[in-house]
Amino acid sequence: MHNDAKSHRDTPPGIRALATSERVLALTFDDGPDTEFTPSVLDILQRYGISATFFCLGVQVAANWSVAKRIVVAGHQIANHTWSHPHASDVTVSELLREVENTTDTIEEATGERPRWFRPPYGELGAEQGRAIADAGYEVVLWTVDSLDWLGITGPQIVANVVPALENGAILLHHSAGNVAGTVDALPYLIEVCLRLGYRFVRLDEAM
């Protein structure tokens, strides 16, 4: 759906990895929930008994309440990715805060959970915007390893992007909506490889 893989050159301060030397990884999924790919991702995670963090768009939650609810009921962490996925440079501080707070309110209404984790679309956030987000009580989370799945690439290509870059405490960026059939294809194999390498998966709030 969206390119969250912009270079970190212009990105804000934020959590880019788990503060641990343990062999753990955090799977994260942006841009959902939808009714096409998010349920398949949830099915795969359930099959392997793995928890993940979903950075959801408010507009998607509003359209797909039952899937958002399923994320939480299944034991995953739900987090904020704005309402409509704007570029930071296209919105004012007050507009961004409104996007974030509307999304949080909608997530809470749909799931009973009020998220405190926030991932800015495209990894972009102005300095003043970042201060306002922090003042509003949110932790900004970016990523360590970008799967590039938003490009619509195949499962094997996604695996090739992720596995060589694995490290202790890595936050893995994937998407659960958009042109991401490759993610659904890659996920079982990727999980199995990580498990064979001795990694375990955690939600962000389990490691921070």
What DSSP assignment string belongs to 39-66? HHHHHHHHHHT---EEEE-HHHHHH-HH
pLDDT in the model for residue 208: 79
Confidence of residue 12 (pLDDT cuts 50, 70, 90): low
CATH C-level class of 14-207 = alpha beta
pLDDT in the model for residue 48: 98
pLDDT in the model for residue 152: 97
Catalytically active residues are: 30, 175
pLDDT in the model for residue 4: 53
Query: Whole-prediction pTM value?
Result: 0.94
> How far apart, in whole angstroms, are the C-alpha atoms of residue 179 and residue 181?
6
Non-local (6+) Cβ contacts of 23 within 8 A are: 168, 197, 198, 199, 200
- The pLDDT of residue 199 is above 60: yes
